A and B are shown apart, each in its own frame.
Chain A
Amino acid sequence: MSGPSAALWAVLIGAMAFGLFQIKLAVQPAEREFARLSRELLASEETLHVLRAEWSYLNKPERLAELAGRHLALAPMAPQQIGGIAALPMRASPIDAP
């Protein structure tokens, strides 16, 4: 245990210590970032949840009917307004080719 082998071990120990320090340095901010993102995710999910409830509330059929009555010139569709292509009458005169 002398000379070159001792030097080799010393270098190895030094390298390991440095590497460990580097990794720890890199991990610490990553962990902080991770915790921050988790918090953000949580907040976003909660916001989403609240917004979904609000969406449902704002789409209450009663409210939509009232708003439509106030702002649109539309009325509920009557059965007579539905038709098929087959129900259309044929054209009386043949189409003139241009």
Chain B
Amino acid sequence: MRKVDEVAAREPADGRVGFAAAADRALKTGRNRLVLAGALFALAYLVIGVRLVDVMLVKEGIEPRFARVVVGNALLGRRDVVDRNGVLLATNLPTASLYADPRKVFDAEVAATKLARVLPGVSRAELLSKLNSERGFVWIKRNLTPRRQVAINRLGLPGVAFQREERRVYPLGALFAHVVGFVDIDNRGLSGVEREFDDELRGLLRGPREPLRLSLDTRFQHVLRDELMRGMTEFAAAGAAGVVIDVANGEVLAMVSLPDFGPNRPDARGGTAQFNRVTLGAYEMGSTFKVFTTAMALDTGAVTLRDGYDVSEPIHVARFVIRDYKPEKGWLTVPEIFARSSNIGAAKMALAVGAEAQREFLARLGLLRAANIELPEVVTPIVPLPWRKINTMTIAYGHGVAVSPLQLAAATAAVVGGGVFQPPTILKRAPGEPILGWRAISPRTSRQMRELLRLAVVHGTGKKASVPGYLVGGKTGTAEKVGPEGYRQKALVSSFVAVFPSDAPRYVVFVMFDEPRGNEATFNYATGGWTAAPVAGRIIARLGPIAGIAPVDESGGEAKRGSLVEVAYREGLGVAF
């Protein structure tokens, strides 16, 4: 009341006027507040309106594309593997796996009897123990065929159901068994490319979900495998290995190890069939190593093509004797030593170069360290330690150092392909991709080596590898395998390394047989010249037309470009195979 009194005191005596003024002011305040509140509400509505337009009309595309999300989730986890031309080598197929919830199974006895009748390979007792278990989930059978799935559905059993799964399949079967490898039941890579690129294939790493493209060619692979299998039967060999390398960039075009296995049903226990001889096997290669010995001797200038050595006397070093398979009399030139495959000559050439230079040279050709290839199965070469004089001499003709066939082929590709060593790869190189390589020998030595290799096929131990129409160069190799009591004369590793066309090399083909036996057609010889060389020739005869290499007239002038070495090669001497 005091307030009213004050107002009244200030106003004139007529109280009515004072009250009217006060009411007027209150009304004004009220209206102001109303306008303010109204403005706020209007603003809120405006914001909502603008946002509505924004969401419905402007930002239409922000909503996730339903279809794409679904496709990305559902389609088939592990990436495909394809060859260089896009032929499918490994993919996934959707399958159904049968599982049971034992707590929901009505009558385990009946269910087990019925299931055992439909599922072959699963015994009733096994099913019964699974269906009687206390757990809430047991696998009964993984990866059923559609027909089995229908049959089980028809049984109408409660408590059993299907889980959609993916199964890795290899449509080409055993053809790429060792290279591509295989996976376990949960689609994790166990060997080969599947293991090496497991993370990439499972999509754990970011990047486009494109198939993994290998450098291998299905056609080359088939030819190589087909001919190796024929050869293996022909010579009753325990095993075989073959590899084809592109000289230009080190791409592996075919890689076969026999015996092989079906990757769709691999034996989980492993076994010799799963052993990749091409990358995991270390073999003393025998005379094919003379390619490197001769290249080294020529490149370091220790000898020229016109030099020669007396090879009539076996060399006695410590308790060893180095002798030739087929002894020659007198003096042989370097081309003759190479073409006739003289161990004595090769040993003398290596001695002229020296042990240290030899080791350094072989290291440059990647022969002393494990091959740098994208496979988990890689062997470390067996190298002598210390590297004595006797080792220098035996390594000259391929005894004392054990390398994998892949390493030998890659080193040969370096020797004939201009002298630059390129690490082999099983991934397709992009065109124009820079290749990490290093010079091993000079281009001039490389050319001389091509001519020497050609000479060995025309006149020397590799005659059986010649293919009418193609200039094939190559070197034979025969090594005795090491047994518990030293070298075994009857157990051989016979090999042949070929280059074609020898005037402008495109491919290096390496063929190796493990413990081949001679037959009537080979006069019981099981050496490289009689076993591996003809097989290499047959492979080249089939690969040439596939690769689109035009044949040449061998007797014509073009083919006689080997004249440089022909000069130092005398006809009429006995030829050893």
Contact = CB atoms under 8 A, between A and B. Distances in A.
B519 to A, nearest CB: 24
Contacts of A61: 172, 175, 218-219, 221-222, 226
A56 B87 contact: yes
Nearest to A52: B88
A68 interface: no
B88 A56 contact: yes
Given A76-B542, A79-B467, A80-B551, A56 B171 contact: yes
A79 B545 CA distance: 6
A11 interface: no
Contacts of B467: 79
Nearest to B75: A45
Nearest to B66: A38
B300 interface: no
Given A38-B70, A61-B175, A84-B550, A79 B91 contact: no
Interface of B: 66-67, 70-71, 74-76, 87-89, 91-94, 169, 171-173, 175, 218-219, 221-222, 226, 467-470, 541-542, 544-545, 550-551
Given A34-B66, A60-B175, A78-B469, 10 more contacts: A38-B70, A42-B70, A49-B75, A49-B76, A50-B94, A56-B89, A57-B172, A60-B172, A79-B541, A82-B469
15 contacts: A34-B67, A35-B66, A41-B71, A42-B71, A52-B88, A53-B88, A56-B87, A59-B87, A61-B221, A61-B222, A79-B468, A79-B545, A80-B468, A81-B545, A82-B469
Contacts of A97: none
A37 B67 contact: yes
Interface of A: 34-35, 37-38, 41-42, 45-46, 49-50, 52-57, 59-62, 65, 76-82, 84
A77 B218 CA distance: 18
Q: A42, A46, A56, A60: which has the most chain B beta carbons within 10 Å?
A: A56
Contacts of B91: 49, 52-53, 56
Contacts of B222: 61-62, 65
Nearest to A87: B553
Contacts of A56: 87-89, 91, 171-172
A8 B71 CA distance: 49
Contact of B74 (A42, A79, A80): A42
A79 B469 contact: yes
Contacts of A49: 75-76, 91-93
Nearest to A82: B551
A72 B74 CA distance: 43
Contacts of B94: 46, 50
Nearest to A58: B171
A79 B66 contact: no
B87 A79 contact: no
Contacts of A46: 74-76, 94
Given A45-B71, A52-B88, A53-B169, A82 B545 contact: yes
